[in-house]
Every structure is written in structure tokens, then in C-alpha cells.
Structure 1
């Protein structure tokens, strides 16, 4: 449960409580501080005495209100015996004394009463948390629309209105995707420790602060409180930075150039689509030391990199010219209030000269219309969670000329829905006859890679080797190239393993898994001691099948990195994916009984996780338990009938069992679903 402090602070209580304005007469030396201990979290209230303006800006912000104890002052929803019906279930919201309660369908489908313990978020919606057994906390999927009534708000609504989610569905509020401990909490509180215990299937989740306070971004502050002048914190304001108009382009340049991406990577800990593999991580640490960000993957992003699923900004921003020019989050967003620094086009006018860009000759729309707003053309929005529009941070030039061939949206037709993409493309071409219409876009290469087009290799290689392309695009192209390994692709992989960007290196390292184990050694072994944990763990995963061929020193490096990989999977063992990943590793280590148990646990945790069935069935095959394998695969098909993996594996099993007719039927089904 959330607490006010996470652990005892080793420094004396008097020093702990002395604010910056009450420092000891003789501050300890920096060397003495460094020798004494690592910094600890002390709570944002310790910062307020000195940082008054920042604190006042933060109060009432989305970060401040990210999570609150549920009471009459924090709950926005209607709990006055309100009702909401969804998929045949009538949910009731009511009060019992000072507490807020909900009666809804539980994990068994039966109506059950739950006390609301916390609020989650504030605008444009507010969710509510309830406690289950074993320290598990879940977020209700019926949320309160906190927008004004005139905007359609002040009502209860379901997060999946177009689906028929019941208690057996992974999207049900009692399932993994609505689990607070492992899915939501990390980004709504400060210094969160999930503390999941696999043996008891329970959580003891704690945090230093219930909300996102100062130390969530600036890191643990105890040493700074002791000696503020000697111990600066990460993300200190860069007072020297200026954006100046130095030429006739009408676009400002940053002076001096941005020296560090620390701010962006700190924000990206939460504002990105990523996997997390530890909570032993502090603000200021490199992102890939605690997280692995998603690339421009199918179903997450459109082929041209526009947002599709909930991807939380970072992957979009990495594609942008703003990122390449040194723009960082705080150039547009006040980091304490979380508000935009300026309203309307004035925000963009900080760096884009209004006399050049905020004119009809540029945007070709009447003033005071939505088409004249920079963001409506260059940052189109998509609505998530029913009521929450979020803008695409790739800051792209609209390309309606690509929409037909790539099946991608564009800002023009996002407004002019009754017009064709050809109409929009013709209009843009007439406005900018020397513009980007018909110019090559990396989306064409990614689309070719996704669809296995005949020219996929040529286009993807062009993107990978172009140093001007955004690194996240190049990394995505590497992954698509690696789907079909040939000599040209091997040359590319070998080259980009030495790339300057770690995302590109990581994608190339992943690509080595397509090679025979012994062929991976020369290229991958140096990554076993890489400075970033993500790359070390990936190298361990890649090289484990070749461990016997490694030198004694490299085998020791692999064992150390594999121990980190194990800890990462156990950290995520409250999810089927973590259990599945470590089970696969145990198979390679020859620990088959342990692997079987973890595969079974993964299936129990996520009955629709087809990959766990398939790999467990293969384990049974290797042990001569073919009938058990077929039974398991039939169960997988019943639980997830749209996944082609299980019928394909079943078809192979039936071939081995000399049942050709049944095998053909299963393989035909797999082909239809693929």
C-alpha cells in the first residue's frame, strides 16, 4: 500500500527535517556526504521551503493529482446511488458513511461490493482504485468523465464501450491490464517499489509519495537537503540556453547546443510505450538502464510513424525535427504546472517566426479557424480512453499523397472527412509546388517491410544507412530487415552494431537471434559488459545457446548479464510475459521441470496467451508427450480462436502423429487466420 516514506533515512532526524533554509552551521563536506551513503527520498514537502514558486506551480497539477486518497474532496464522480449498465451488468456507486463504494461484477462475474480507496487522475477522466486480496489493487474500467456537462462530461462511462468485456476477458477491470501495482502505479507515484512475490502471488507495493512530486523527476533529495550548494539534483534549469533567430529561415536555433538528453529520458520513463524491468532506477539514469522503449511496431504506430495505439509521446518525438534540433520537453511544457508555456500559435512562435509561419500564405486557412492552428496540421490528435485526445508529437508535415498507398491517416482528411485523399494531396501540391509531395518518406520503407513487398530490402537498407533518418526509424527498419536474413542484411547488421545510437545497436543485437548460435559470438559478446542494462541482458539472451563456445572470461560476463535478465523477468513475474520469458531461458539451461511449471503459471495467469501454450506443447513434444501437446493446443485454440499460432503448432503435431487429414485442416485454419 502507498505510504508516506519508503525506508528509514540514515542521516540524523534533525538534519533530515532541516529545510534548505535551516541548514547546519557547518555543512558536511561533499566527500563526507559521498562516503556516508546514497541519497534517499525525503518527500516533496522538504523542497517547498526553498522552491516556493515551483511548488506553487505544481500544486493542483496533473502530477500533483495523479493519485489521491479517496474522500469527499478528491472524488469527482457521482456516488449518490448512481447506476451504470454495461454488457448486462448494472454497476452501482454509493456512499457508506464517509467512504465511497461500488457494487459491480468481480473476477468470478458475481456482483460484489468494493470500497474505493484512491482516485486516479483528474482530467478529462478520473478512475477509481479498489483493493483485492494479496495486496493487489485494481482500477475500475468504469470511469468518471470529468469534463464539463456542456462538453459531454459529468457522467459515468466504460473504457471499452464498443466491446463486450466480461469477467473472462483480459480487459476486465480485475485483469492484468487494469492492475495498479504492475501496470499503472509506477507513473502515478514517486519511488514506487512493486514488491511482487511470485511464491505467494502477492504484492507489498509502497512508494515514498502517493503522487508525482519533486523527487519523481529530480531524484532522491536527502543529500541535497543536507548540502544544497554542494549536491545539485538532476534536471537543474539550464539558464544559459537560448533559442535565437540567427538566419533568414524563420526558425530559431538553440544556443548553446543541447548537451544532454537527460530531461527527455527522465520524462520518457513514463511518457513512452516501454517495458520496465526494475524499480532500482532513479531520475537521471539512462532510460535503457531500466526500460526498453518500443520501436515503431505494427499496431502501435502507423507505417509512417503516426500514433495508432497508446504510445505516450516519446517514440513520436524521437521521429521529429524538433528532437533533432535540440528541443526538449520543457521548451513547450512547464515542468511544474505541466501546462503549455504559451497558448495557441504563440507556443510555436517561440522558434517559428510568426511573420513567416503564422500567416495565411503558409497555412492556407482563414485566421481564427482550426486550420490556422499549427497543432491541428502538424500535431493531429487521436482520442484514447474515450474522452482523452492526445496529440502526435512527431510534428510532421501532412502527407495526404501517402495515405492511399500506406493506409495512413493525414491531418487534412482528419478535418475534411467528406473529401478524398486525392483532393487533399492536390490541394497541398498546389500550395507547395516545390514541397515534399512525392518525396521519399521512411513510411514507404516501413510499409514495404511490414507487407513483404518485393522492394522491401532495398528501401529498408536505404533507411538504415541514412544518418539523417531518426534513430528510432532506423532501428525499426533494422528489425524489419532481420525478418529475412541474407548476405546484404548481415553486412548491414554488422555495420550498425557499431552505430552511435543505442536504439539502433539494440535492434541489430536483436537481429543476431536469426543466426546460428556460434555465429553470434563475435558480434555480440562485447555487449555483455555494455554500460546499459538493456543491452547487457539482450546480449545474454542472444548468446546463451552458445555459452559453451565462449571464453572463460566471456562466460563469466554472460552469467552476470544472465543474472540481471533473470531478475528482470522475476520483476515482471506478475505478468504472463515475464514467466514465459524465464521459462524459455530455463529450457535452454536444461531445467525442464521448472520451465514446465512456469509455462503452466503463465497460461493460468493469461489464458489467451497462445505463445505459452505453443512453447509448453513443444516441451511436451521433446519429452515424447505428444498427446498432451495436442490436448494443450486444442485448449489454446478454444481460448484464443483468432491466433494462428496454436492451429499451426497443432497441425505439425498431427503430422508427427500420422493424421494427415486432421493436420491439413489445422494448417488450413492457421493460414486463414494469419
Structure 2
């Protein structure tokens, strides 16, 4: 291993965080003061917020908030009977614990209000888990979130496992001013929050300075605080639609977080998160929602986003409800009158059978039925696709992605629906190509679709998330030619594109890669800097100018901090193992992969790497022992049994 790689490996695995990211501004960050402090001056907003899904995102486990039937009721699945009881005004759940033993715990918290309510259990001091048997508020019944899976205590997806940990996976979007505070050494949490539930300061920012500004009577000192708006808040909602959308997207997106809990409201999205691209398992090839992706990724694909539509054009930010429940929500813009804010709108009658070809007032005549398909998550929680797409049953024929037509007309084929659309709109969207056609083929045969995927990646008329997703598909097959052709994307205006373009440079010769990526170590966006730092880990550079070294150290420190913030994620242990392999630090890699399988015994790829490292180091007995442990945890995994047979020969 060369000297540069050794230094970087030591920095990531051994040393404490450097001071490279210390705040340069000596002024203060305001403190959180609580939603009650806002109510006196903002009575109307507070009344609207009370009882909202935001306010009730996380509540105490008391009689005012628990809706489930705890009157000695039970629920049985896979041979495990869970009981729900009440004693002395406290609510209890009795079920199988992390060791499989039936145990009784007090309910530690309540998540949500409708259409379901989930209950939280503190299994260890400070460690909170979300329980998988939940309450259906509308049908008044207990049900399991994953009834088709046999999730016993030895499964990492059991309610006591790492993927159901409230501190790491859920709390930051259900609380105000949340800090996870995980200690890898003791594997414990000391999480805190300013307020449970999504309060005023979750969106507007900590209110201490704003309160002082409002009540100062001329004594307010703006120089005491750092980076505040004219009304002394960290988030400025007068800054336009994009700022508002990014603030909402922090929770309403599928993403990787860089920070430890809530970013300070007003933090640009890509400084706090890396947005998940349109990957298989998350989205269909044409970008429609598949898994629970929380709106932002689909909205970024929409024409509405491109034209400057903001969340509050359709949603009341305080009640968290739509501003209308019928087609008037859409016809405030999509009508013969239009909307002067959006001058490119086609003025036409849309709420009419001449457009939707369904009886007036029917389900098929609702704008959302055709343009916002709905999918259920958590069993009963319907979420709508926010890409606002024109139905394309013709794409279903080619890509197998779903379509709104056969969602309703389930007894008909996609071809039948495509023929009807062609009759209604002979010059409609079905006559035009769609990126989903190339993406679907590229998911099956990336090499065979390189030219098509490059065409998407470099097409500045497509949404940035689509272009970044095409690059994401290309990354594993990148070559000098692909890296050279996509070099201009390194300076694209959108950070999603720049992040994805960085990974494509892996195919470039090392000298070209370094020269192209050095400027991005100082990119204004943290997501880009971290992506760039990752690529420098494997580079062998004998000497760098002082300013480049400083930029690299700063970016590496940001990446290091991001890693440290997610050490309780099995997925992050896999990243750490990969770093160990890249830097030839095999002991560090073994340690990380071992930590991954401790957290998630079903993580087959981690077991495989442990076995391969032991075998490569000539330790056959250790490799066999690891395989035996892996097979014991995953008896039905054929690949492990085959690997053991090969190794035993």
C-alpha cells in the first residue's frame, strides 16, 4: 500500500475527527425554545398545527394519544402471541424479545395518528425500537406490518433488529432538534431532542433569536447570531420555491444522511443528504414509485417542479393537509383561466370528459387517479406518486412498469389501455420516446445500453435525477471513454449530476481522474465533496500542492464524520469494509465486515467477504469457521453451502 493510501486509511479508521470543519464564525446558533413559545404571537398557525400529522408524529404513551386497544387484547403470527395490556394507567406490550423469550415492556412512545399508529419500546437504556404489530385506526384492529415474512428473533429485520431502530432510522423525522448520539464503543445511544413531534422549529429553525427579535423593543443584537434571515430564523421561507422544497425534502425523501440527526433548518438539502437515484427496487424503470421513497425523488421528475411549483401550492404547511380534496386542487392552475405565476401553462378545460374520457364525478375523472398513482406502504398507508406523469400504458408493454389505466381496469391488458389512449390522443405522449425504455433495457444489459444511457446522462433537457440515475447505472462499467465523455457533467449546475459524474471517473486513467476531480474537493456542496473524497482513497499520488492537500483533508474529514454518524448501520460497516479492502488494510476490513454480520447475520455479502479475506490470508480454518457460522445463521442460503464445499476440497 502506498503512503497516501496508508495515511487516508489511518485517518478514517484510527484518528479522532480533525478540526478541519470547525465553525469559523464565532457568532452563536440560536437555541430551540419549543412550540409553546411560538403560540402567543402565532395563534392561527398554532391552532392549524395542533392535531396535525406533524404535531402527532411522535407523542407520549398516555391515554390522550394511544388509540390502540390495550384492554388485554392479543395478536398471533408465526406462533408468537403478542399481548397488549394496561396497568395503573400505563400501556404494556408482551412479545418475543431479541433473544426470542416472551418479555413485557412498557410502551415508550407513540408514532403517528392515521391511518395507523405504531408503538415504541425501549429495549435497552436509550435504545428505542419500533414495534411491528401496529394499530389500524380506521378498521380498529391489530395487524403486522410484514405478515408474509417469518421475522423471528434471530432475523435482522425482527422488530428488535438494526433496521427497526427508532434512534437511527426514524426519530430524526418525527422530532425537532434531534441528535442521535450513538457511541460505537459501547454500542449505546444517548439521543436527545428539543421536542418530540414535528414542531414549529423543525421547519423554521431554532427560535431563540426570533423570539428576542420580536420582543427586543430595540435591544435586539443581530451581530450575536450567525446566518439568520431578516426575521432572525435559520430558515428563510421568502427565499423562493426551491428553498422551501429542499426544506420539506429533508424528511420527505429516500436519502443517505450525512449528519447526526436533524440538520439546522435552512441547511441546503445536498449539504445534509445524498438523494437516492432511481434505482431498481426503489423505482420502476420509468421513474414511478415502487418502494417507499417519500415524494421528493418523484417530484423532481415532474414538469411542475421544473416550472417552479412549491409544496405549499398544494399543501397547507401547518395542517399538513391538501388545500383542496377534489379536482379544484389542480384546476387552480390547469384550467382555461390558467395561473399568471406559470405563463407556459396550456389554457384548456381539463376537468371535463373531453379530457379524461370518464363520467363526471367518477373515480376515473379525478386528476389524481390518472396522474398520481397510489401505492400502499406499511400495509394500509396510501402514498401518491408526485411525478404527475401522463399515463403511458404503452410503456408497460415494453418496460413492465405499471400504469394508471390498468390500476383501475385490472381485468384489462396494458395493450388494451394503450390502444384506448391512442384513440383519445392520436398525437399524445405515447408517440414520443421515454427515458424509461432505455433505463429498463439498461437494468438488464448495461453494456448493451451504454450509448443510450450516455444519451440520457448528457441530455440537459431531462430532469437531473433521471440523468444522475443513468450515470448510476453506468458507474460499474465505466471506462476511459465513458469517463471522458461525461467529464463535462462534473461542472453541471445540479449537485445530483455532479455526484453521479464523480463515480464515472473511476474508469479514467489515474492521472486524468485526479486532475478532473481536484476542483470538486472544494465544491460548494457537501454531497459532491464527500463523493469526490471517496474516489481519492484509492489514488496513488506521490505529491500534491498544499492547497489541494488542504482541500482533500477537509473533504476527507467530512466523509469521516458522515461515516462516524452511521456506525450503527450494517450498511455503513460494509462501506468501512470496502475502505479496508481499498487501502489493503485487511484487519480493518475483517473488523468492519465482522461488525456488519454481528448487526445483521443475514448480510450474505459480508460473510462472503470475511471468508474470502481469511482464505486470501492463508487462514483456511478461520474461513471454514466463518462459513459454518454463516450457514448456521442462514441455513437456506445455497451460495454459502457451495462456497464451503469448494473450500473444504
Moved more, 423-432 or 600-609: 600-609
Residue 252 of structure 2 contacts residue 295 of structure 2 at CA under 8 Å; is this kept in 1? yes
Three-state SS of the structure 2 residue aligned to 1:261 is helix
Distance change (3 Å), C-alpha of 1:35 and 1:563: closer
Moved more, 451-460 or 375-384: 451-460
Residue 611 of structure 1 contacts residue 645 of structure 1 at CA under 8 Å; is this kept in 2? no
Is the counterpart of residue 91 in structure 1 residue 77 in structure 2?
A: no
Three-state SS of the structure 2 residue aligned to 1:69 is coil
The aligned residue for residue 363 of structure 1 is 356
Query: What is the TM-score with the length of structure 2 in the denominator?
Result: 0.88
- Which residue, 560, 576, 582 being the options, matches 2:576? 582
RMSD of aligned C-alpha atoms? 2.3
- Which residue, 103, 116, 140 being the options, matches 1:154? 140
- Which residue, 391, 398, 401 being the options, matches 1:398? 391
The aligned residue for residue 46 of structure 1 is 37
The aligned residue for residue 233 of structure 1 is 233
The aligned residue for residue 555 of structure 1 is 549
- Which residue, 218, 223, 240 being the options, matches 2:209? 223
The aligned residue for residue 534 of structure 1 is 527
Output one character per residue of 1:183-223: Cα deviation in whole Å (capped at 9) or x when no partner: 01010000100010011110001100111001101111211
The aligned residue for residue 202 of structure 1 is 188
Output one character per residue of 1:458-504: Cα deviation in whole Å (capped at 9) or x when no partner: 22122122211110000001122233234542233212112111101
The aligned residue for residue 459 of structure 1 is 452
Residue 509 of structure 1 contacts residue 538 of structure 1 at CA under 8 Å; is this kept in 2? yes
The one of the two structures with greater contact order (alpha-carbon pairs below 8 A, sep at least 6) is: 2
Three-state SS of the structure 2 residue aligned to 1:119 is strand
Three-state SS of the structure 2 residue aligned to 1:357 is coil
Q: Distance in 2 between matches of 1:299 and 1:638?
A: 28
The aligned residue for residue 326 of structure 2 is 344
Is the counterpart of residue 507 in structure 1 residue 500 in structure 2?
A: yes
Aligned residues: 598
- Which residue, 604, 607, 628 being the options, matches 1:610? 604
Q: Distance in 2 between matches of 1:520 and 1:626?
A: 38
Q: Distance in 2 between matches of 1:596 and 1:410?
A: 46
Q: Distance in 2 between matches of 1:550 and 1:630?
A: 43
The aligned residue for residue 412 of structure 1 is 405
The aligned residue for residue 81 of structure 1 is 72
The aligned residue for residue 58 of structure 1 is 49
Q: Distance in 1 between matches of 2:377 and 2:47?
A: 30
Q: Once the 2 structures are TM-superposed, how far is the Cα of residue 92 of structure 1 from its aligned partner?
A: 0.7
Q: Distance in 2 between matches of 1:505 and 1:425?
A: 37
Structure 2: tracts of 5 or more residues without a match: 1-24, 215-219, 221-229, 337-347
Distance change (3 Å), C-alpha of 1:393 and 1:500: same
Moved more, 49-58 or 523-532: 523-532
Residue 525 of structure 1 contacts residue 543 of structure 1 at CA under 8 Å; is this kept in 2? no
Q: Distance in 1 between matches of 2:502 and 2:255?
A: 18
- Which residue, 495, 498, 511 being the options, matches 2:491? 498
Three-state SS of the structure 1 residue aligned to 2:285 is coil
Q: Once the 2 structures are TM-superposed, how far is the Cα of residue 626 of structure 1 from its aligned partner?
A: 3.8
The aligned residue for residue 97 of structure 2 is 106
- Which residue, 121, 130, 133 being the options, matches 2:121? 130
Three-state SS of the structure 2 residue aligned to 1:118 is strand
Output one character per residue of 1:497-550: Cα deviation in whole Å (capped at 9) or x when no partner: 121111011001122234454442112122222222222122111011215345
Three-state SS of the structure 2 residue aligned to 1:114 is strand
Output one character per residue of 1:307-337: Cα deviation in whole Å (capped at 9) or x when no partner: 1000000100000111011111111000111
Three-state SS of the structure 2 residue aligned to 1:137 is strand
Q: Distance in 2 between matches of 1:297 and 1:193?
A: 29
Residue 66 of structure 1 contacts residue 189 of structure 1 at CA under 8 Å; is this kept in 2? yes
Moved more, 295-304 or 633-642: 633-642
Q: Equivalences for 1:14-25 in 2 at 5 Å?
A: none
The aligned residue for residue 300 of structure 1 is 282
Q: Once the 2 structures are TM-superposed, how far is the Cα of residue 615 of structure 1 from its aligned partner?
A: 3.0
Q: Distance in 2 between matches of 1:550 and 1:521?
A: 12
Moved more, 220-229 or 429-438: 220-229
